[in-house]
Amino acid sequence: MKQIMNVFGNRYNSVRTNDCDNGRFESFAANRRNLTRQFSIVDSFFHQRKEGERTRYPKYNFFLMAVGLILICLGVMSHMCNPYMLIFKWKLIFENGGEIFELWRTPPVDLYIKIFLFNVTNAEQYLEGTAEKMVFDEVGPYVYRELLSHENITFYDNGTLYTKPSHPLVFQAHLSAGHKEDDVFYLPNIALLSIAQVASKHNYLIRLPLNLLIRQTKTVPLEKQTARQFMFGYETTLTTLGNTFLPNWISFNKVGLIDRMYDFDNDFETFYTGVDDESLSGLYESYLGSPKLAQWEGDHCSNIRNASDGTKFKSFIKDEEQLLFFRKSMCRAQRMVQTGSNHEVDGLQATKFVFEENALDNGQIDARNKCFCRKGQCLARGLIDVTDCYYGFPIALSYPHFHDSDPSLLTKVIGLHPNESLHSSFFMINAVSGLPLKLSVKFQINMAMGDISNMAECERFANIVIPTLWFEITLWVMFFLEILLVNVLCKPIAMPDSAKIRIHVPVKHHTHLHTKTVVKTVHVGIPVKPVKHHDDEEDHGWEYPKKKKSANYLKLLNN
């Protein structure tokens, strides 16, 4: 019996084991098919519905996949094409109502001109002949705010616009370190020396009556004048007669250096709008109807095309690229070279430019500058003859105190001390927008006298260069424009509470009795970085104007 049970058990186990193995195999195959079907993207999206599930929508799912793929492609394209920069380039094009155009039309900047006069401290002794050289003492600054704007704008179809410049000056007594416009000094008689320079080249019959007039009126080359009279002119017998009998030469009844320098009454200019090349918007196309200045020969000296008037420079500036700067008072376009792009002005990246080396050379060092010799007559190195831009007056430009000029110029005068850190110019320009963030342009106005020994009272002023004044044009970006540029050109950065600025905003409170205006303090975080101070900036005892938080900034915040 025991043997029978063993045989039956073995047979049962064999049958049961085979059945289990077969079932296990069939179960594994089924599970594998189920797993494959469940984890198949196509099956899960497009196969028939499973028991207990809603019917799937293949078209809807495919649409979601397509949208996702498109978004991925757009992300890649935006990274490669930078649509932000495309929009910015579009904004650079000048058109009515455009942001950059409105900034250029009336620049919201702090633009000042600081003027330093050269007082002749030994004027009486020099006129009497007891002093060998004139002794000069620098006095100033006399600070004026320049309200720059471009007026009467007309757009042309060729990608340019026509405008008339406006540069009115307003005296800033609080920035002038105690100096007043009625300060009195011994200064050169511009009218006498200019008329003497012109008349000295004519024959005796023309010089005779003029010499008699000079002696009769007791006019002398150095006389007491107020600072304002010297800068903006005053009526004299000589200028009145010149205006009466020589209206084609002297069309004004008073002579002042700054007055003549800022005479823009008959000027007109043409600028590029950026339609053809957005990087050139705001640059000169022509001045007085021509891309070349009539007083110079050759493209190197006469060209002003693609130059800037200081309101906007070329956009998207490349490394080592040079720029041109032109102002009527300079009588030429000055070339600027880069000295480094690793600078910041109130958190904005800036590239520093300076005038190229030997820019005021007359061909002694750089042969290309030979064309700056007026009528073939070359002045000493460091002097540029700008007679044609100052109504025929014998005016020559140099850097202040004859900096970077022929050393012989300093041997004939006493009191001038050239200093590179004090008398050099610089430009801080944002390379992307081309907008100037800070600039300092310095020049000196001199009278380059020829042989006027045949003119009455002028014998001791023959063949010398007389320094009269030097000026510095400075520009700072105003507060709300600074914020606009930071938000347009930079990524916001986290700032501590100490970097927040308090703005006092007037708020009206209405009650049933009256309306009361109170001042509410708003803390605004400004995304700017610490300002780097430059060692080459000198204030000459003048306090830089503090930036004001204007109402325009509040409008900017609301927008």
| pLDDT 10s digits, 92-120 | 899 988 888 988 898 888 899 999 999 99
Q: Tell me, what amino acid is at 465?
A: V
Quote the distance between the C-alpha of residue 400 and its chain's center.
Answer: 21
Length of the chain: 559
**Where are the alpha helices (H) located in 447-501, listed in sequence order?**
479-489
Kind and range of the H or E element at 205? helix 204-217
pLDDT at residue 510, rounded to an integer: 39
Instruction: Transcribe 95-118 into DSSP letters.
Output: -TT-HHHHHHHS--EEEEEEEEEE
Taking 50 as the pLDDT cut, the residues of the chain under it are 12, 15, 491-559
* The two three-digit tokens of residue 504, written as one number: 């006092």
pTM beyond 0.85: the answer is no
Distance (Å, whole) CA 435 – CA 348: 11
- Residue whose token pair is 């005038």: 355
* The two three-digit tokens of residue 430, written as one number: 């944002």
What's the sign of the alpha-carbon dihedral 5, 10, 11, 13? positive
Helix (H, G, I), strand (E, B) or coil at 409: helix
Q: Using H for helix, E for strand and C for coil, what is the string for 521-550?
A: EEEEECCCCCCCCCCCCCCCCCCCCCCCCC
Taking the CA atoms of the chain, what radius of gyration do you get in angstroms?
A: 38
Helix (H, G, I), strand (E, B) or coil at 390: coil
Helix (H, G, I), strand (E, B) or coil at 298: coil
pLDDT at residue 63, rounded to an integer: 74
pLDDT at residue 503, rounded to an integer: 39
pLDDT at residue 252, rounded to an integer: 58
- Residue whose token pair is 């009191």: 415
Kind and range of the H or E element at 146? strand 134-146
pLDDT at residue 94, rounded to an integer: 92
Q: Helix 190-199 vs helix 237-245: angle between axes, to the nearest 10 degrees? A: 50
Helix (H, G, I), strand (E, B) or coil at 462: coil
pLDDT at residue 540, rounded to an integer: 45
Q: What number of other Cβ atoms are within 10 A of residue 398's Cβ?
A: 28
Nearest residue to 382 (alpha-carbon basis) of 353, 404, 401, 400: 404
pLDDT at residue 534, rounded to an integer: 41
pLDDT at residue 248, rounded to an integer: 57
Q: C-alpha distances in angstroms, 295 versus 157, 298, 384, 448?
A: 30, 10, 12, 17
Torsion angle defined by CA atoms of residues 300, 306, 308 and 312, in that order, rounded to the nearest 10 degrees: -160
Q: Using H for helix, E for strand and C for coil, what is the string for 71-92?
A: HHHHHHHHHHHCHHHHHHHHHH
Distance (Å, whole) CA 40 – CA 525: 52
Q: What number of other Cβ atoms are within 10 A of residue 241's Cβ?
A: 16
What's the sign of the alpha-carbon dihedral 473, 347, 486, 307? positive
Distance (Å, whole) CA 129 – CA 417: 25
Kind and range of the H or E element at 472? strand 465-477
pLDDT at residue 547, rounded to an integer: 47
Q: Helix 204-217 vs helix 190-199: angle between axes, to the nearest 10 degrees? A: 160
With beta carbons less than 8 A apart as the criterion, state whether 328 and 389 touch: yes
Q: HSE of 312 in the Cβ direction (CA atoms, 13 Å)? A: 31
